[in-house]
Structure 1
Amino acid sequence: MTKFDLATHRRKLRELGHWTDEHYDDFLRKALRDHPDKLAVVSDRASGVTRLTFRELEDRIARAAGGLRKLGVGKGDVVALQLPNWWEFVVAVLASQRLGAITNPLMPIFRERELRFMLGFARCKVFIVPEGFGSLDLVGTARLLRDELGHLKHVVVANGTGGDSFAALLDAGERVDLAPEGTPPLTDPGEPSMLMYTSGTTGSPKGVQHTVNSMVNAARSMTRRGHLSNDDVVLVGSPVGHMLGLAAGVILALFNRATMVLQESWNGRHALELIDEYKVTFSGGATPFLADLVREVQSGAPRPETLRLFLCAGAPIPPVLVRQAGEVLGTTVTSVWGMTESLASTMTEPERAGKLSSLSDGRPVAGMEVKVVDDAGRTLAAGERGRLLVRGAQLHIGYMGVPPEDTFDAEGWMDTGDLAYCLADDDCADYIRIAGRTKDVIIRGGENIPVVEIESLLVEHPAITGAALVGYPDERLGERACAFLTVEKGSTVLLDDLRVWMDEKKVAKQYWPERIEIIEAMPRTPSGKIQKFMLRDRLTP
């Protein structure tokens, strides 16, 4: 039986022109040639604002690369970054990429339990964390794990003051400057260079491996479909530890040599202030981000006069929100569907957004293909709901530690785990609509909750005999999680009890159930599987 061949896949994408083998340093080189003193990064955070021109950005990248190399980082080593939307994130990503290392962004919400697995699985050599961000002791946790994990050699503290600070890394006395134009990068742009975890349905998260080519193709596709250019200013409000903030924020801005404005923590009112101050023209995020902007303007905040386009992803957009964004913000909302594994695979053109952004999740961008099939693999007619498959230039090249042929079929198709259908109208038959998920995942504010792992933790509670986590609709976040529980006879479990339990288990708060329902028994199939659709029906208004 023919299996997926990664070498053939790479060759085909290059022959078709979808993989161009450009590197991040190529875009920096162009920016330094054309406008070295243009504002490249604005890092807005509680402790102050840092503004870097492309010349200043390149200086910090060269120094950080030298400091990382002095710590022993080289080709193939994994550098993990648990950083908020700070300038240090941008510098560390581009510095590690220059060294041929693999960059592993991690969300600041992750705690000891998640980090122990993620850092251990990838065998990270350097871990960069922030001092003075949020309520968690990220630095203390990082140092604890460094002492525990033999392969984790160094912790670097952004905003720190000691010998392991990011400032000390920059002042290590070494530089790795941009190589002359035409010099091949240390790592082939078709090899793994970016590792990002996705919450799975079988317990542990999976390490998604992207290449420079897949990331650059996503930036190029979004640029062309959204008519972006060097003149745009990009607000990065979505977390950079998430693929949306990384790909549709940092990498997209770099690709266009555009100014990126990094907002440390999301706040709709402050986002509007940044849009006004820096004349932001483009931003992206999950539905709650857009809803917050609309709500703030409706509450009296000034209208964002320059924000022409908002890329909305993570969940279907309510039609009323598309209309409100146009009326209240004067902003066009373009819908996009993607996932950690396939980036921005489908997108609605701004010209058709008024009609289609609320009805669809876009059509395939250049280099990407999608199809909807039944359980036997037969392509379905428009309007028929089935499994969504995807392949192409933005697709990852496999999960870390898993043979590619276990993820892709012989023709390169990957089952997304989503249910979808194609629109029935002839003039938009290539547009898709996500209609549910075959994977047991709840998406809260664009963040996937690992259902099986949380259920497993719940049943470890001494009073709980069974648990099923089910999503229920929420106007702002899209979904929240309700835990249906069966308990020991005579026992009582309250929501506050679960919060204490989750906290003791060191689970990210975004994964905690926000509602509980105590039931006598779980509805099950004859084979013993829980019928979650029956539980969802109980939550339907």
Structure 2
Amino acid sequence: MEFDAVLIPSRRAHSIAKGFWHDRTINDDLDACVATCPDKLALTAVQAESGKVTRFTYRELSNMADRVALGLTKLGVGQNDIVACQLPNWWQFTITYLACSRIGAVMNPLMHIFRERELSFMLKHGEAKVLIIPQTFRGFDYEKMVNEIKPSLPDLKHVVVVNGAGANSFEALLSGPAWEKESNATAVLTQHRPGPDDVTQLIYTSGTTGEPKGVMHTANTVMANIIPYAARLHLDANDVVLMASPMAHQTGFMYGLMMPIMLKSSAVLLDVWEPLRAIDLIRHEGATFTMASTPFLTDLAKNVEESGKKVPTLRTFLCAGAPIPGPLVEQARSVLGTKIVSAWGMTENGAVTLIELNDPDERAFTTDGLPLPGVELKVVNDDGAVLPAGEAGKLYVRSCSNFGGYLKRAHLNGTDAEGWFDTGDLARLDAQGYVRITGRSKDVIIRGGENIPVVEIESLLYRHPAIAMAAIVAYPDERLGERACAVVVLKPGQSLDLPALVDYLKAQKIALQYIPEKLEIRDAMPATPSGKIQKFKLREILRDEKR
């Protein structure tokens, strides 16, 4: 694969001079862990369905990463090849990334909710050579799905199945044989190690262009975020990080997979969010920190209160993905005894802003935080003029953790010659520099921290024989923040209900989480004189009807 990470070279001299880029990779950090704390518990992975718990010390983690790396080379994976990984928070996910880093391959994490439609596009666009999947997870047969789409993916040479029974199992191909004992193992593991400016991660994000965009990150860009993030949260080697947010999102990947290794701390992975199980894990493993979207915090506070099981070790809960209601912060502080930290970020940058630990609690529900070191924000009007504090406008960010660009889509990079990135969000800055996201100029709905690709779903609705006009808009939800509503105008003589709409979209093989959960049928759409649907009016209608 040829990567066009065009946003990296021009920033290098400045980022190094300022100390924002550290010129190291995850290999350096893992090697340092093995050298200084080889027998420390590095990773605990819990599978909710089976109850199985797998643990690795840093020595064991490194050895398994080497083994899987060598196994990947035997499948023909080389430098800059894409290894796609559609796994939940299992230990194989962590190992696969570390293994790719050993041999200069690039990991493409894929959400386990993706189905044929999303998966086909991403695998083809990213030219994935290997795809690693579960055989089944939460009752879904991934191997069957992938076998159906594989003929349309000429670059995909191998499908590796975790917990599979055949010759293509992860166990048979990668984690079982002791490849690391072969005479040439050291040479193979060291000859193509990536540099800090090489692409190390390709991760897709939903946007407004009708198709996902492949975000390219290097070790320098992600570590430029993780290091100040951990410093602001006062995290160190003594911490235990609980991660139930998917590692196929930057939240899980950067702060549940990479950060614990960089800190020489311990990670606890949970593959299915079950609040009572999470409470038991926090208590048993001594978890001190976690990061997740608002629904996770709601569930945790509610279940701690109802069960009476306290979580005294949990010092900090970083909540992002949707605004945090004030009453929830107050309840969580009282019930959990935990500092609630608000934050805002993007796949392209990681966490851009978060409040300080010594900030008053109300900062968590009145702001989305303060920029991290190496991050600048500005709010501008439609003409590009910078607005004063307190006025809302378009939010731009210039950050040391800004991505390298969108794969094969450089024209969409949205970054000007001075390094300012158009976030697509609307916001205001207060006099102290704290940001508050006030809306989105981009057409994306965030449901429980998961972006719904609105344009893509709308295009499918327009193909429905009964629909003349369609719009997907958000409506408020107490737990998830937002849910998706399909607002449609029907063709003359046609009828449609929500179950029929759901069945139609399921047949399109899209992720279930993308399917609207409400249907509104209208005689006409509010529109501009030019005919553009005024979605803000539709959202207002839905909000008014909910009251």
Give, in angstroms, the shift of residue 180 of structure 1: 13
Of 195, 206, 223 in structure 2, the residue corresponding to residue 199 of structure 1 is: 206
Give, in angstroms, the shift of residue 490 of structure 1: 2.3
Matched ranges for 1:448-467 at <5 A = 448-467=451-470
Of 55, 62, 68 in structure 1, the residue corresponding to residue 59 of structure 2 is: 55
**Quick one: distance in 1 between partners of 2:186 and 2:447?**
41
Counterparts in 2 of 1:299 and 1:179: CA distance versus 1, 3 Å: farther
Of 397, 404, 409 in structure 2, the residue corresponding to residue 390 of structure 1 is: 397
Q: How well do the aligned residues superpose, as a CA RMSD in angstroms?
A: 1.8
Match of 1:439 in 2: 442
**Quick one: distance in 2 between partners of 1:108 and 1:374?**
39
Counterparts in 2 of 1:184 and 1:150: CA distance versus 1, 3 Å: closer
**Quick one: distance in 2 between partners of 1:82 and 1:178?**
28
Give, in angstroms, the shift of residue 170 of structure 1: 2.1
**Quick one: distance in 2 between partners of 1:301 and 1:264?**
24
Counterparts in 2 of 1:177 and 1:278: CA distance versus 1, 3 Å: farther
**Quick one: distance in 1 between partners of 2:206 and 2:185?**
37
TM-score, normalised with respect to structure 2: 0.94
**Quick one: distance in 2 between partners of 1:177 and 1:475?**
53
Give, in angstroms, the shift of residue 191 of structure 1: 2.4
**Quick one: distance in 2 between partners of 1:444 and 1:102?**
29
Aligned partners of 1:472 and 1:536 also within 8 Å: yes
Of 37, 41, 51 in structure 1, the residue corresponding to residue 39 of structure 2 is: 37
Matched ranges for 1:6-405 at <5 A = 6-45=8-47, 46-47=49-50, 48-168=52-172, 169-175=174-180, 186-403=193-410
Give, in angstroms, the shift of residue 465 of structure 1: 1.1
Deviation string 1:468-519 (CA, Å, 9 cap, x unpaired) is 1110110100000111111122222111001101110111111011011100
Counterparts in 2 of 1:149 and 1:451: CA distance versus 1, 3 Å: same
Match of 2:485 in 1: 482
**Quick one: distance in 2 between partners of 1:459 and 1:352?**
48
Give, in angstroms, the shift of residue 41 of structure 1: 0.8
Count of aligned pairs: 533
Amino acid at match of 2:132: I
Counterparts in 2 of 1:208 and 1:265: CA distance versus 1, 3 Å: same
**Quick one: distance in 2 between partners of 1:318 and 1:145?**
42
Give, in angstroms, the shift of residue 422 of structure 1: 0.7
Amino acid at match of 2:131: F
Amino acid at match of 2:218: T
**Quick one: distance in 2 between partners of 1:487 and 1:318?**
37
Aligned partners of 2:326 and 2:362 also within 8 Å: no
Match of 1:419 in 2: 426
1:409 aligns with 2:416: yes
Match of 2:3 in 1: none
Deviation string 1:507-534 (CA, Å, 9 cap, x unpaired) is 1111011011100011110111001111
Aligned partners of 1:146 and 1:154 also within 8 Å: no
Aligned partners of 1:62 and 1:178 also within 8 Å: no
Aligned partners of 1:5 and 1:410 also within 8 Å: no
Match of 1:495 in 2: 498
**Quick one: distance in 1 between partners of 2:43 and 2:428?**
40
**Quick one: distance in 2 between partners of 1:401 and 1:61?**
30
Counterparts in 2 of 1:49 and 1:6: CA distance versus 1, 3 Å: closer
SS at match of 1:73: coil
Give, in angstroms, the shift of residue 22 of structure 1: 1.1
Deviation string 1:31-69 (CA, Å, 9 cap, x unpaired) is 112211111111100221111111111111010000001
Aligned partners of 1:485 and 1:519 also within 8 Å: yes
Amino acid at match of 1:398: G
Amino acid at match of 2:439: G
**Quick one: distance in 2 between partners of 1:378 and 1:56?**
54
Aligned partners of 1:219 and 1:252 also within 8 Å: yes
Query: Which ranges in structure 2 are unaligned for 5 or more consecutive residues?
Result: 1-5
Give, in angstroms, the shift of residue 405 of structure 1: 8.3
TM-score, normalised with respect to structure 1: 0.96
Give, in angstroms, the shift of residue 406 of structure 1: 4.7
Higher deviation after alignment, 411-420 or 21-30? 21-30
Amino acid at match of 2:232: R
**Quick one: distance in 1 between partners of 2:65 and 2:191?**
18
Aligned partners of 1:127 and 1:142 also within 8 Å: no
Give, in angstroms, the shift of residue 18 of structure 1: 0.6
Amino acid at match of 1:149: L
Give, in angstroms, the shift of residue 161 of structure 1: 2.6
Aligned partners of 1:332 and 1:353 also within 8 Å: no
Aligned partners of 2:352 and 2:371 also within 8 Å: yes
Give, in angstroms, the shift of residue 172 of structure 1: 4.2
Q: Percent of aligned positions with the same letter in both sequences?
A: 47
**Quick one: distance in 2 between partners of 1:177 and 1:309?**
42
Of 505, 516, 520 in structure 1, the residue corresponding to residue 508 of structure 2 is: 505
Match of 2:521 in 1: 518
Aligned partners of 1:107 and 1:241 also within 8 Å: yes
**Quick one: distance in 2 between partners of 1:218 and 1:18?**
9
**Quick one: distance in 2 between partners of 1:144 and 1:98?**
31
Give, in angstroms, the shift of residue 177 of structure 1: 6.5
Query: Which ranges in structure 1 are unaligned for 5 or more consecutive residues?
Result: none
Aligned partners of 1:361 and 1:433 also within 8 Å: yes
Deviation string 1:351-402 (CA, Å, 9 cap, x unpaired) is 1051311111111111111111111221111100011101121110100012
